[in-house]
Amino acid sequence: MKLIYRQMLGFFAVILTLIVVLGLLFINVTSRMLYTNTWKQLQSYSDSLIEDSMRYDPATKQFEGFTTVPLENNAQLLQRQNVHFTIYSTQSKLIYSSSNYTSNITNSDWKKLKAGKTIHKMMDRPIKPNGSLKPQNSSSNSSRKANSSSSQSRPLMTDVIRPYFYKGKLVAVVSIGSFVSNIQGNLQQIRENLWIAFIVSSIIALILSYVLARSTTRRIDKMRLATHKIIQGNYNVHLELKGHDELNDLSADFNKMTDSLQESQEEIKRQEERRRQFMADAAHEMRTPLTTINGLLEGLAYDAIPEEDKANSIKLMQNDTKRLIRLVNDNLDYEKIRTNQISMSRKVFDASDVLHNLAEQLTKKAATQSDEVKVEVPNTLMTYADYDRFVQVLFNIIQNAIQFTEKGVITISGAKIDKGTEFKVADTGIGMTEDQVKNIWERFYKADRSRMNTKYGESGLGLAIVHQLVELHGGKIDVSSEYGKGTTFTIFFPDREHAQHQSTQEHSDDKN
Ligand SMILES: Nc1ncnc2c1ncn2[C@@H]1O[C@H](COP(=O)(O)OP(=O)(O)OP(=O)(O)O)[C@@H](O)[C@H]1O
Ligand SMILES: [Mg+2]
């Protein structure tokens, strides 16, 4: 069955049940009310009957009996309202009966009456009163008398049977009743009205259930449509959010799902692009040294290289093969760091010495560029890091600074700051534009290919590795640069107590 019909059926059933329950409740309450009102009325008739007809000696205040005349008068009056009564003095003795109908009082009823309880009977098949007195009926009752032979043909009555006491002694029991048909007539009218209300509400319920079901299924349809779009590869779908129901939550989750799908789709594209770029760059980087080596080998093979140049050619080939090895090693290193495959053994050491040593190692290279290298660090600068990796990071950055600076100053500084140690390598070299700065952490990125220092054979892997290493230490690396003016790299290494997360990882690495 389609969801809309199922929903409709659900709503319709609920609304209909509500109407039926309310209807039944209403009929029940109204019929109870009608009966209660009738009983109240009958009770007041009964009270005035006894009041009018009871006789007692004014002197002795003794109960003497009942006067028939007021009873007869009342009987005629009540007859017109279809009310019949019978008065008993005891269970077996009838004092007066206004008609051929009287309530059937059972022995248990008598017990209750003697205990002073008034009995109400909702529907009672009357019997013929038996006793000494003949009913005082008018002619209108003659037709009913004919039917009185069979009790089944007697109309149903609702009765009140009430005991009356005088000085604690039961003196009379009045059974007073009217035809149920009077009440039933009223009830029938109410029932007919309710039927009309029921039919009208059913139609409204049907329309209402359709509207409710439609609004739900329409939202589901929208989701289906969106899902179809996703199947077709279109992740740019967003469902409208309204209300605070489960469908709204589902739509919100759906939107989150499409967002993350779109994101991962873009990430896949980016990664694919990076992979493609890497392959192209790697091939490009390798082609130059390989071409050089190949050319020289051919020259040697065909004896095209003069004897005095042969040594130089072999030196060139050696340089190029070294360059190829470095390229491969750097790439392997990068991948190892990236995939967390390297183990770090961190300790606290004095970085001041390390920086002085590095500056010294690189003086030769600085001299070729006519650069001055300055080290401005405190006498001791305790740093928490993997010693070899720390040297690798600083070496790369200082080397870059020298490489891209001519006749300038390279300042290496370090200081203790909040939660760790900070190092700065500032140069007065060529600098970079904002766009160039954005890309320097990418593998094979070289800001200015025309200014590439072929002597050192840069591959554009240095900073990519540096970045990974600093992150692995839980540190931070930043760069600020101004084109044509110079560049400053700032590297932060956290202290032991602030590098907690990384050290746990480190232990697990060590185990591996
Ligand atoms: N101090 C600097 N001043 C100006 N440009 C720089 C500086 N440091 C890095 N760059 C730019 O960032 C690029 C990437 O640097 P990176 O160290 O990754 O590669 P590389 O030095 O070219 O090659 P490799 O370090 O692998 O030999 C450089 O090619 C250069 O364009
Ligand atoms: Mg470099």
pLDDT tens for residues 12-28? 888 889 888 998 999 89
Q: Which region among 152-161, 258-267, 447-456 has the lowest average model confidence (pLDDT)? A: 447-456
Instruction: Give yes or no for a contact between 51 and 71, defined as CB atoms under 8 angstroms apart.
Output: no
In the sheet where 94-97 sits, what is the strand order?
A: 94-97, 83-88, 169-179, 157-166, 119-124
Please give the pLDDT value at position 459.
77
Instruction: Give yes or no for a contact between 95 and 88, defined as CB atoms under 8 angstroms apart.
Output: yes
In testing the pocket of ligand 1, which one of 322, 458, 477, 485 has its CB within 8 Å of the most ligand atoms? Answer: 458
In testing the pocket of ligand 1, which one of 403, 459, 477, 490 has its CB within 8 Å of the most ligand atoms? Answer: 403
pLDDT, tens only, 52-106: 888 888 888 888 888 888 888 888 888 888 889 999 887 778 888 888 778 888 8
Instruction: Give yes or no for a contact between 435 and 365, defined as CB atoms under 8 angstroms apart.
Output: no
Q: Is 175 in the pocket of ligand 1 (CB under 6 A)?
A: no
* Residue whose pair of structure tokens reads 């190692």 in the numeric block: 361
Q: Does residue 323 register a pLDDT over 50?
A: yes
- State the pLDDT confidence band at 249, using cuts at 50, 70 and 90: very high
Q: Which residues contact 127 (CB under 8 A, 6 or more apart)?
A: 101, 102, 103, 104, 151, 154
Q: Is 404 in the pocket of ligand 1 (CB under 6 A)?
A: yes
pLDDT, tens only, 402-420: 999 999 999 999 999 999 9
Please give the pLDDT value at position 147.
42
Q: Does residue 167 register a pLDDT over 70?
A: yes
Average pLDDT of the segment spanning 441-451: 74
Average pLDDT of the segment spanning 235-242: 88
pLDDT, tens only, 182-198: 788 888 888 898 899 88
- State the pLDDT confidence band at 457, using cuts at 50, 70 and 90: low
Q: Does residue 507 register a pLDDT over 90?
A: no
Q: Does residue 9 register a pLDDT over 80?
A: yes
Q: Which residues contact 282 (CB under 8 A, 6 or more apart)?
A: 327, 331, 444
Q: Does residue 386 register a pLDDT over 90?
A: yes
Q: Does residue 151 register a pLDDT over 80?
A: no
Please give the pLDDT value at position 190.
86
- State the pLDDT confidence band at 511, using cuts at 50, 70 and 90: very low
* Residue whose pair of structure tokens reads 């392959």 in the numeric block: 279
Ion ligand 2 neighbours, Cβ < 5 Å? 400, 462
Q: Which atom of ligand 1 is nearest to the CA of 431?
A: 4
Please give the pLDDT value at position 450.
61
Nearest CA owner, ligand 1 atom 2: 401
Distance in angstroms (rounded) separating the CA atoms of residues 280 and 292: 19
Q: How far is the CA of 270 from the centre of ligand 2 (A)?
A: 25
Q: Does residue 493 register a pLDDT over 90?
A: yes
Residue 109 parent element (H or E): helix 107-114
Using DSSP bridges, classify how beta strands 420-427 and 486-494 pair: parallel, antiparallel or unpaired: antiparallel
Distance in angstroms (rounded) separating the CA atoms of residues 148 and 245: 69
Q: Is 487 in the pocket of ligand 1 (CB under 6 A)?
A: yes
Q: How far is the CA of 361 from the centre of ligand 2 (A)?
A: 16
Q: Is 373 in the pocket of ligand 1 (CB under 6 A)?
A: no
Please give the pLDDT value at position 63.
83
Average pLDDT of the segment spanning 320-328: 89
Q: What is the DSSP secondary structure assignment for residue 245, as one 8-state letter?
A: S
Percent of the chain past pLDDT 70, that is, above it, reads 90
Q: Does residue 133 register a pLDDT over 80?
A: no
Q: Is 445 in the pocket of ligand 1 (CB under 6 A)?
A: yes
Q: How far is the CA of 402 from the centre of ligand 2 (A)?
A: 10
Q: Is 429 in the pocket of ligand 1 (CB under 6 A)?
A: yes
Residue that wins the pLDDT comparison between 266 and 278: 266
Distance in angstroms (rounded) separating the CA atoms of residues 496 and 78: 108
Mean confidence (pLDDT) of the chain: 86
Q: Does residue 422 register a pLDDT over 90?
A: yes
Please give the pLDDT value at position 444.
80
- State the pLDDT confidence band at 425, using cuts at 50, 70 and 90: very high
Instruction: Give yes or no for a contact between 189 and 30, defined as CB atoms under 8 angstroms apart.
Output: no
Sign of torsion over alpha carbons 54, 57, 59, 60: negative
Please give the pLDDT value at position 508.
41
Hey, what domains does the chain have and what are their CATH numbers? 3-133+148-192 (3.30.450.20), 244-342 (1.10.287.130), 344-511 (3.30.565.10)
- State the pLDDT confidence band at 149, using cuts at 50, 70 and 90: very low
Instruction: Give yes or no for a contact between 170 and 114, defined as CB atoms under 8 angstroms apart.
Output: yes
Nearest CA owner, ligand 1 atom 27: 458
- Tally of CA atoms within 13 A in the half-sphere of 147 that contains its CB: 10
Q: Is 371 in the pocket of ligand 1 (CB under 6 A)?
A: no
Please give the pLDDT value at position 205.
86
Instruction: Give yes or no for a contact between 305 and 299, defined as CB atoms under 8 angstroms apart.
Output: yes
Indicate the SS3 state at residue 362. coil
Listed residue (70, 73, 53, 78) closest to 166, CA to CA = 53
Percent of the chain past pLDDT 90, that is, above it, reads 45
Strand partners, 87: 96, 174
- State the pLDDT confidence band at 7, using cuts at 50, 70 and 90: confident
The one-letter amino acid at 254: F
Q: How far is the CA of 322 from the centre of ligand 1 (A)?
A: 19
Q: Which region among 107-121, 260-274, 438-452, 464-478 has the lowest average model confidence (pLDDT)? A: 438-452
Torsion of CA 218, 224, 229, 232, to 10 degrees: -160
Q: Does residue 448 register a pLDDT over 80?
A: no
Q: How far is the CA of 33 from the centre of ligand 2 (A)?
A: 100
Please calculate the CA angle 5-11-14 and round it to the nearest 5 degrees: 135
Please give the pLDDT value at position 467.
94
Q: Does residue 441 register a pLDDT over 60?
A: yes
Residue 260 parent element (H or E): helix 246-301
Q: Is 430 in the pocket of ligand 1 (CB under 6 A)?
A: yes
Indicate the SS3 state at residue 161. strand
- State the pLDDT confidence band at 279, using cuts at 50, 70 and 90: confident
Please give the pLDDT value at position 112.
92
Closest ligand relative to 425 C-alpha: 1
Chain centroid to CA 425: 52
Hey, what are 171's tokens?
């003196």
Distance in angstroms (rounded) separating the CA atoms of residues 151 and 506: 104
Please give the pLDDT value at position 3.
82
Q: Which residues contact 4 (CB under 8 A, 6 or more apart)?
A: 213, 214, 217
Distance in angstroms (rounded) separating the CA atoms of residues 240 and 155: 68
Residue 410 sits at φ, ψ, to 5 deg, of -115, 120
Q: Does residue 504 register a pLDDT over 60?
A: no
- 388, 500, 505, 506 from 509: Cα distances, Å: 17, 14, 6, 5
Distance in angstroms (rounded) separating the CA atoms of residues 466 and 269: 26
